[in-house]
Amino acid sequence: MTPSKFEVESRKIKIGTFEVCPIPTGEFGLDGGAMFGTVPKVLWEKTNPTDDKNRIQMEARGLLLKSPGCNVLIDTGNGADFVLKYGEKLGNKFAEMYGIDQNGPSLLKSLVKFGLKPEDIHHVVITHFHFDHAGGATTEVNGKLAPTFPKAQYWAQWANYETAREPNLRERASYYPANFQPLLDAGVLKLLKGPVENFIPGISCLISNGHTQGQQIIKVSDDKTTLLYCGDLVPTSTHVKIPWLMGYDLHPLTLMEEKQKYLGEAADHSWYLFFEHDPYCDAALIERNGHDFAVQKRFWL
């Protein structure tokens, strides 16, 4: 249920030849304190109510850029092969701990609504390899893990792959080889090094190191409209304020500087921000609010 203070408009967006299509991949829950770090609960629970385990509702929302001859998917959500990927004990615990609703929206169900099958996806862009962003990148095929999208080129950052391959103690519970090793084995993973303009025509990547090393923020643009797929730079519309960070963020001061830079461009040039984890809206326009930022309008796309 959307908090009553949020007003959300419906709007369709097209950027170049791309139709902008939100792809809900599954609902789950995360501890509210972890999601808002040092922000007092009395402030964030007004817009993000908790369950009896102090978890707030979350969405794992990918983005489909649909056009004739080129379908691009940005991020893939949690995935559903928990037992196969993480072992029976961890897989079941994983789904229970994060309150994952396996009967709700899913990556493949959402694609079907746009008339697409896995074979119809040409490119998959992974912002970073945390399980809630890359879990749907691989799937079970004849008892083994393989790329979910058999005809797609996958794109990620080399720095993030290095982090995923040898994760630090803070992030070890978020990175799993099952979400990237099958892509390497199949020879479909292309690793970029730093920001790249138009690595797919109309699609560029910016770099953020505050949440995790080598996260790529995806910019989709034509001569009129720009959309920034925020990933975990700004996971929900509530996190637009610069100091509202997650406890999961590795380098808070770095992340605040990145938000100041990228959100400043978004506010000044009326870019849409697309939120991966907000259950109450898909996107928003923002504005400057003194030395900070505020949401101007929220949208369902």
| Domain spanning 8-300, CATH class | alpha beta
For residues 70 and 76, give the distance between their C-alpha atoms in angstroms, rounded to a whole number.
Answer: 17
Q: Report, as an integer, the average pLDDT of 48-53.
A: 92
Average pLDDT across the chain, whole number:
93
For residues 260 and 251, give the distance between their C-alpha atoms in angstroms, rounded to a whole number.
Answer: 14
State the DSSP H helix or E strand holding residue 57, giving kind and residue range, or none if neither. strand 55-67
What is the pTM for the complete model shown?
0.94
Instruction: Report domain extents, the chain.
Output: 8-300
- CA angle (178, 183, 160) in 5-degree steps: 75
Amino acid 91: pLDDT: 61
Q: Place 101 in a pLDDT band, splitting at 50, 70 and 90.
A: low
For residues 80 and 139, give the distance between their C-alpha atoms in angstroms, rounded to a whole number.
Answer: 8
Amino acid 85: pLDDT: 73
Q: Place 27 in a pLDDT band, splitting at 50, 70 and 90.
A: confident
Q: Is the pLDDT of residue 66 over 90?
A: yes
Calculate what percentage of the chain has a pLDDT beyond 70: 91
Amino acid 108: pLDDT: 93
Q: Report, as an integer, the average pLDDT of 270-287.
A: 97
**Tokens read off for 92:** 């079941």
Render pLDDT for 113-166 as a digit per residue (tens, 0 to 9): 999 999 999 999 999 999 999 999 999 999 899 999 999 999 999 999 999 999
Amino acid 81: pLDDT: 66
Q: Is the pLDDT of residue 83 over 60?
A: no
Q: Is the pLDDT of residue 174 over 80?
A: yes
Alpha helices in the chain (DSSP H): 32-36, 41-44, 82-86, 88-97, 107-112, 131-134, 158-165, 181-186, 252-269
For residues 110 and 153, give the distance between their C-alpha atoms in angstroms, rounded to a whole number.
Answer: 20
Q: Place 182 in a pLDDT band, splitting at 50, 70 and 90.
A: very high
DSSP per residue over 199-215, as a string? Answer: EETTEEEEEE-SSSTTE
